[in-house]
Structure 1
Amino acid sequence: MFGIENPQTLLLQQDGAVLHVTLNRPELRNAMSETMLRELVSVFNAIQDDLTIRAVVLRGAGGHFCAGGDIKDMAALRSEAMTAGNHDGYIRFNRAFGTLIEQVNHAPQVVVAVLEGAVLGGGFGLACVSDIALCRNNAQFGLPETGLGVIPAQIAPFVVQRIGLTQARRLALLGNRFDGQEAARIGIVHEVFSSDEALNEALSTTLQHIRRTAPNASRVTKALLHNSTQVSDLSTTLDQAAIQFAAAVSSDEGTEGTMAFIQKRLPKWAD
């Protein structure tokens, strides 16, 4: 299923156009292992061109999102480094997370992060590349790397993109923990909820909104938004956007969306 026959670290459930991906190592607060990295990459590879999957919900089992990298894996890599006499294992593991977070960032689907409990290190990075971030008020965020004598190597660029350089400096260099309300204030999450019931209700409402958007238009819009932050020639980008707009308006989706609006009904893709 979705590139993995028997996932060891994930729970996967498809609900129509929505794929629920649950990090499933609750005994370790869903710490990120090499196996989890490989499985997540496999899932996002498998759905890259799947037009039937329009949203991915990322959350963690057992009341936590993700507490960062697995310390046990770090110990194994330290042993590997001592035996091999090089740092190749560390580089492989760290760069693999960068591959994953970049993949999630550019996934054509709408990525919804449901954040509870620990949202630390790598979990913090995943939160920063979600399209919609919903949060329990008692979640604990932080970039603890410098306090452990390491650095947020693969996460840093995405944190800066999410909240800006000034806030990223403060969080990364102090390494302090903060709650959902502070996460909302500085722009990591979009909404904060005081109960599981309210959080799950908001998720349901969010998914309803996603289902009402046109599938292809949503994919093109997400790519356009990403491109707008990376270009040096704005005029060229706007020229390309105009071409994409014309294609969207004249497409089957554009025709159906317009007719649905005129006829005061939901478009077919929202069924």
Structure 2
Amino acid sequence: MSTDEQAPLLVRRDGAVVRAILNRPARRNAMNAELVGQLDALLAELAEDRGARVLVISGAGGHFCAGLDLAEAGTPLPPEEKLARQLSRNRRTATRLATIAALPQVVIADVEGSAFAGGLGLVCAADIALASAEARFAAPEVRRGLVPAQILPWLAHRMGRSQAGRLVLQGATIGAPQALATGLVHEVLPDAAALAARTAAVVADVLQGAPGALAETKALLAALGDPVPGDYAEAGAQAFARCAAGGEAEEGIAAFKAKRQPAWASIPA
């Protein structure tokens, strides 16, 4: 369990409850290699930990997670190395989301502020998603010249294919009320304090359940149908790698960093 306040992932344990706090507030908790490495290590531990019964995922500094750290993703590399790195990164993303969903613990996403792109995937892979009223949600990948490869099936599973399709194709940000209406989150609370109190209450509810019965119930839910078709994860990784290593992503990420419109964007009159 991490006690270093400068660590990119803070892990706190109180009995059967584990809290994983994404801790890069200056970057709105965007996921770089160090952060996801520590998160993956925690998930591997929890998969074998029958003493832990609840995992709460949240973000530091008033935001949940802005998704992939584009500063790291946009690092100049030779084309073949860039393609290989993007392919590996996206495969790990697929594994991470599947691992979260398959944990024997009940996973709760506690969402304040931005939950974008890969951060949105974390929300949808969780069993229960709670948000504060000011939370915002987006899948802006196409606006960066990228594709929402591994989060798409999880979005479709949570929201339905039509709503997920609109979210990823339009690329616009939605607020908490719309996220609630479309099934993206289960409950919206007025503010951060109310969210913290509600999360605590939901944790207390979950702890009333028998640990073995909860784990078996999660397994039965999974048996109803895998959100990700058998060959999708690899196809998604290949598509992401192609786009991420291409010219559109280079322009999209550069435009994002410069806070300007990318070359392909046009605003209707």
- TM-score if structure 2 supplies the norm length? 0.80
Q: Is the 8 A contact 2:134 2:191 kept in 1?
A: no
Structure 1 partner of 2:91 = 95
Matched, 1:226 2:222: yes
Could you tell me whether the CA contact under 8 Å between 2:159 and 2:183 is conserved in 1?
Answer: yes
Q: What residue in structure 1 maps to residue 30 of structure 2? A: 31
Number of residues of Structure 1 aligned to a counterpart in Structure 2: 227
Does the 8 Å CA contact 1:136/1:196 hold for their aligned counterparts? Answer: yes
- RCO (CA 8 Å, sep 6+): is it higher in 1 or 2? 2
**TM-aligned CA distance change 1:92 to 1:66, over 3 Å:** same
* 1:38-67 alpha-carbon deviations (Å, 9 max, x no partner): 111100101112111000000000000000
| Structure 1 residue 80 corresponds to structure 2 residue 102 | no
Paired residues of 1:134 and 1:192 also in contact (CA < 8 A): yes
| Residue 183 of structure 2 corresponds to residue 187 of structure 1 | yes
Any idea what the Cα deviations from partners look like across 1:4-51, whole Å, max 9, x if unmatched?
999831011001100000000000000011111111110010111211
SS at match of 2:77: helix
Deviation at 1:229, TM superposition (A): 2.0
The one-letter amino acid paired with 1:188 is L
Aligned residue identity for 2:74: A
Residue in 1 that maps onto 2:258: none
- Distance in 2 between residues matched to 1:19 and 1:208, nearest whole Å: 13
Report the AA paired with residue 224 of structure 1. L
CA distance in 2, matches of 1:213, 1:38: 31
Q: CA-atom RMSD, angstroms?
A: 1.9
User: Within 2, Cα distance between the matches of 1:12 and 1:196?
Assistant: 20
Determine the C-alpha separation between the residues in 2 that align with 1:6 and 1:62: 12
The equivalent of 1:257 in structure 2 is none
Given the alignment of the two structures, is residue 204 of structure 1 paired with residue 200 of structure 2, yes or no? Answer: yes
Structure 1 residue matching 2:74: 3-state secondary structure: helix
Gaps of 5+ in 1: 232-271
Q: Distance in 1 between matches of 2:38 and 2:226?
A: 29
Instruction: Indicate whether 1:66 and 2:65 are aligned.
Output: yes
SS of residue in 1 equivalent to 2:154: helix
For the residue of structure 2 that corresponds to 1:198, the secondary structure is: helix
**Secondary structure of 1:62's match?**
coil
Unaligned runs of 5+ in 2: 228-269
Shift of 1:98: 1.4
Q: For the structure 1 residues 211 and 85, does the alpha-carbon distance in structure 2 shift closer, same or farther, using more than 3 Å as the test? A: closer
Q: What does residue 143 of structure 1 align with?
A: 139
- One-letter identity of the residue aligned with 2:23: N
Give the secondary-structure state (helix, strand or coil) at the position aligned to 2:163. Answer: helix
Change (3 A) 1:229 1:97: same
Aligned-pair identity (%):
36
The Cα shift of 1:192 comes to: 0.3
Instruction: Tell me if 1:10 matches 2:9.
Output: yes
- Segments of 4+ moved more than 4 angstroms: 4-7
Q: Does structure 1 retain, via aligned residues, the 8 Å contact 2:20–2:55?
A: yes
CA distance in 1, matches of 2:82, 2:113: 36
